[in-house]
Amino acid sequence: MTLSRSGRCAVLAATLLTAAACSTSQVVPGTPAPAVPTPAGLEKFYNQTVQWSGCDTFGGDQSSRFPVGTQCAHVTVPIDYANPDGGTAQIAISRIKATGKKVGSLLFNPGGPGQAGLWMATQGQDSRLSQHFDRVGFDPRGVGASTPQISCLTAQEWDAERAEPPKDGSPAGVAAAEDENKQFAAHCSERTGNDVLEHVGTREVVQDMDVIRAVLGDQKLTYVGYSYGTRLGYSYAERFPERVRAMVLDGAVDPDADPIKESVQQAAGFQKAFDAYATDCAAKPDCPLGPDPAQAVPKFRTLLAPLWDHPAPTKDGRGLSFGDAITGVQNTLYAEDNWNVLSAGLAQLSSGSGDLLLKLADLYNGRRNDGSYDNSQDAFLAIHCVDDPAVKDRQAVDEQDREYRKVAPFLDDGHGGDQAPLELCAFWPVPNTGTPHKVSIAGLPKTVVISTTQDPATPYQAGVDLAQELGAALITNKGTRHTVFLSGGVACVDNAVFDYLIDLKEPPSGLTCG
């Protein structure tokens, strides 16, 4: 599939890592907020009573992360908020109750788009958050345990798609790539239905979030969003500014970046992360890219080049394709904690085996050990295409391809041409419902944006700009990773955010951590 994976947050499994070697707001915490009106025509959704139960039938791949006492439920929402008497969707939510004096509910989203989020209720376990908040996760509409699901390719079709030789920049290669994109879009339309596809975007999810807020009994929303979850956050604030209590946005997606700008920005970010890895690796005697960081890119490209025509052997017989090798490498570049895994994967490849990089690509693509897939990739592509305007200007796409290869030479496969294929969204069967824009929200309470200086997926400057547009407090984290709150081991960040979420105490101006 030809589509940039902007803002997608990937997390390595712990088992793989081990195997691979200030001012204060005037709002007083605990003071009841004035009731907010229920939108007309939506009373039956806002006033519903959810039935909590165990999470055994909800979590699927996430269930192993749930501690004892986690509860799950479904919240009913309209598929089309403009037609509330039409079809409905079931949004899966999870909850771990506060252990002490409760402030309210705290809703989390992990990013994506297309990532299941029930497991996010476990965020902040045994921290001050767990004392004061019912921590709540949710699978956005179409994703995970929420229904109806977004469905495009079967597991067999995904395996075949990933194993295919890449398309080059020749006229025949461009035509073949576009035919593949058309076929994928047709599968999504047939298997999901356009009536669902046109309502899976951010526009609807933020309305679902408001229904979740209401059924949880909160007058105002307290929210933490990572990566694409920052888009959900600022979009919720635009739609319901009077219903925001507190909001933390970590790893900001630039609201004013068009798809081309976003793709190039992210490519440049991954190149910086690769360069940082190469410098760190070169200082070690067994670095698979050698002792000179300046030679890391050509050595990397030489190592992967044979995969274009001949996948590396793997124990399961599938082989490591060129595309999967790139995906596996990028998966490790989301956080410097994973660089040792990247070195192990590249060393293994140089010895003729692609098992570890294939495993990394499987993790990113949601492929399970039994060969089945979650629907994260289907959902990612579908949501991306309904959220953003399609680029159909061939000259713009050609320029994007050239710029992408220029800013990220380690991702340049060496097979570019004068033309590049139109991406998947150019053939999408339903119109987009979002457009790039500057954010301006009157009356929004103080929010917090966290931005990491060498974030490979969402540029640091995007966080700076978003904080300015929202009038938010900015926390700068020095490091090379994608998102940091509750996962980066940076106490400076975590403690400042705890104070903000619990007591509405703003972080010190200019706070820099790491």
Q: Would you call 482 a catalytic residue per the annotation? A: yes
SS3 88: strand
Query: Looking at 181-297, which runs of residues are DSSP E strands?
Result: 221-226, 244-250
Q: What is the DSSP string of 28-43?
A: PTTPPPPPPPPPTT-H
The closest of 221, 259, 192 to 133, measured between CA atoms, is 221
| Per-residue tokens: 258 | 């068009």
Alpha-carbon gap, residue 487 to 233, rounded angstroms = 19
Give the torsion sign (CA, 291, 295, 297, 303): negative
| Beta-carbon contacts of residue 493 (< 8 Å; ≥ 6 apart) | 450, 475, 477, 484, 485, 513, 514
Q: Would you call 127 a catalytic residue per the annotation? A: no
Burial (CB < 10 A; 0-12, 13-18, 19+), residue 378, is buried
Helix axes 171-192, 376-387, angle to 10 degrees: 100
Alpha-carbon gap, residue 399 to 345, rounded angstroms = 32
The catalytic position among 227, 343, 376, 451 is 227
Helix segments in 259-307, DSSP class H: 259-282, 296-304
Q: What is the 3-state secondary structure (H, E, C) of 2-19?
A: CCCCCCCCCCCCHHHHHH
| Beta-carbon contacts of residue 338 (< 8 Å; ≥ 6 apart) | 12, 17, 331, 332
Measured CA distances, 463 to 2, 191, 234, 408 (Å): 27, 37, 12, 21
Alpha-carbon gap, residue 472 to 464, rounded angstroms = 9
The catalytic position among 74, 199, 384, 482 is 482
Alpha-carbon gap, residue 391 to 382, rounded angstroms = 15
| Beta-carbon contacts of residue 369 (< 8 Å; ≥ 6 apart) | none
Where do we find the tokens 């000179």? 292
Q: For residue 320, list its beta bridge partners.
A: 312
Q: What is the DSSP string of 377-388?
A: HHHHHHHHHHHS
Q: Are 449 and 227 in contact, with CB atoms under 8 Å apart? A: no
Q: Would you call 310 a catalytic residue per the annotation? A: no
φ, ψ (nearest 5 deg) of residue 15 = -65, -35
Alpha-carbon gap, residue 495 to 514, rounded angstroms = 13
| Beta-carbon contacts of residue 343 (< 8 Å; ≥ 6 apart) | 281, 284, 286, 287, 288
The catalytic position among 208, 401, 455, 503 is 455
Active site residues: 227, 455, 482
